[in-house]
Structure 1
Amino acid sequence: MVRFKNRYITVEIVCPFVSEDKPLHLKPKIFHDTLLSKIQLLHGDFGVAAVTNGFLTKYCNENTRIAIIRSRHGPHRFVTSSLPFITKIGKLDVKLNTLHVGATLKHSFKFIEKHQRAYLDSMWSKLKTDEERQKLEAAVLDYTKTDVAINIENIA
C-alpha cells in the first residue's frame, strides 16, 4: 500500500477595493477553478494533470480572507508558483499571498488560529459593543467554511 503525501497551502486573499470590515463574497468553487485555469496557462496540460489528483479547496473564510488548498506533495510546487500570478477571481481584483505550506491540516489550522487571533486583536479596537465582538470572533474562528460539493466532486 502506498501512502500519498499532501501539502496544505494557506493563502491570504488581499482585495484592495473591498474594505476589511466587510466579508469578501468568494465561493471556493470559483477560487478552485481560477487556480486550475492559471496552472493550465503557466504549466500547461502536464501541470494540470499533475495537480488535479488530490487538489481540493479545503477551507475558505470570507471574513478573514484566508483559504487552504490541498495538493499532492511534488505537484504542490505548480500550485505555489501559480498563486502570485492570479490577479482576478471572478469579478474581484485580488492579490494572493502564500502564508504557510504545511504537511498536515492540523498544523495549518494551528497557524491560521495564531494568524486570526492577531487579526481579532486588531479588529476589536474598532468595535464598540461586546455583541459585535462576539459575532466577529465566531465568524473569524469558524473552521467549517468549506464547500463540500466541490470536495465530493473531486474526491471521486
Structure 2
Amino acid sequence: MVRVKHRYVLTEVVHEKKTKDMKQLASMEKKDILKILKIHIVDLFGDTGVCKIVSNFQIKYWNPSTGILIIRVGAKNVDMVHQMLPWITSLSTVICKVKTIHTSATLKLIESKLKKVNAKFCVKADPEEDSQ
C-alpha cells in the first residue's frame, strides 16, 4: 500500500480591523472556512479539481483573533491550493485577503514557523518600542 503524503500550508487572513469584521471571523468555524475554500476550488478548477483535492483537504488550525489558518492538502494538489488562495476576496461577508506564509511537509515545521511569525507579531505590537 502506498502512503499518502500531505503538505501543510500556513496562511494568514488579512482584513481591516473593524469590530464587525472581527466578530464575524470569530464566529466562523473550521467547517465554514472549508466550505468557502471548496467553493473557490469549484470556481477555479471545476468538479474534477474538487474530486482530486477533497479526500486530503482539511483545516488543521484556525485562530480568528490572529487570522492564522493551517490547511492540510495532498502533496500532488498543493499547487491547486497555492493558485486558489490569492483569488479569495472574502470569507462569508468579511472582505479580506488570504496570504500564504509557508508550506511544509510536516506540521512540526509549520508550528515552528508559526512561532517565529508570532514572535515578530509580538515585537510589532510592543508599545514600549513605539515610545522610543
TM-score bracket for the superposition, by shorter chain length: 0.7 to 0.9
State the distance in 1 between where 2:113 and 2:100 align: 12
- Render the CA deviation track for 1:49-97: whole Å, top value 9, x for unaligned: 0110111000011121110000001111111110000111111101010
2:14 is the counterpart of 1:5 = no
After superposition, residues 95-106 of structure 1 pair within 5 angstroms as 95-106=97-108
Q: From 38, 51, 58, give the equivalent of 1:56.
A: 58
- Secondary structure (helix, strand or coil) at the match of 1:74 reads helix
State the distance in 2 between where 1:10 and 1:35 align: 14
State the distance in 1 between where 2:5 and 2:72 align: 10
The aligned residue for residue 80 of structure 2 is 78
Q: What is the count of residue pairs matched by the alignment?
A: 124
Higher relative contact order (CA 8 A, sep 6+): 2
State the distance in 2 between where 1:32 and 1:82 align: 13
What's the % identity of the aligned pairs? 31
State the distance in 2 between where 1:46 and 1:101 align: 24
Please give the TM-score of this superposition, normalised by the length of structure 1: 0.74
* Matching residue's letter, 2:95: D
C-alpha contact 1:17 1:93 (8 A) present in aligned 2 = no
Extract structure 1 runs of 4+ deviating beyond 4 A: none
State the distance in 2 between where 1:105 and 1:117 align: 18
Name structure 1 gaps, 5 residues minimum: 127-156
- Render the CA deviation track for 1:93-148: whole Å, top value 9, x for unaligned: 0101000010000000000010011111222327xxxxxxxxxxxxxxxxxxxxxx
Name structure 2 gaps, 5 residues minimum: none
2:93 is the counterpart of 1:87 = no
State the distance in 2 between where 1:100 and 1:46 align: 26
* Matching residue's letter, 2:33: F
The aligned residue for residue 16 of structure 1 is 16
Please give the TM-score of this superposition, normalised by the length of structure 2: 0.87
2:44 is the counterpart of 1:42 = yes
- In structure 2, do the counterparts of structure 1 residues 15 and 28 end up closer, same or farther at CA, with 3 Å as the change threshold? same
RMSD value, Cα? 1.6
* Matching residue's letter, 2:13: I
State the distance in 1 between where 2:117 and 2:68 align: 10
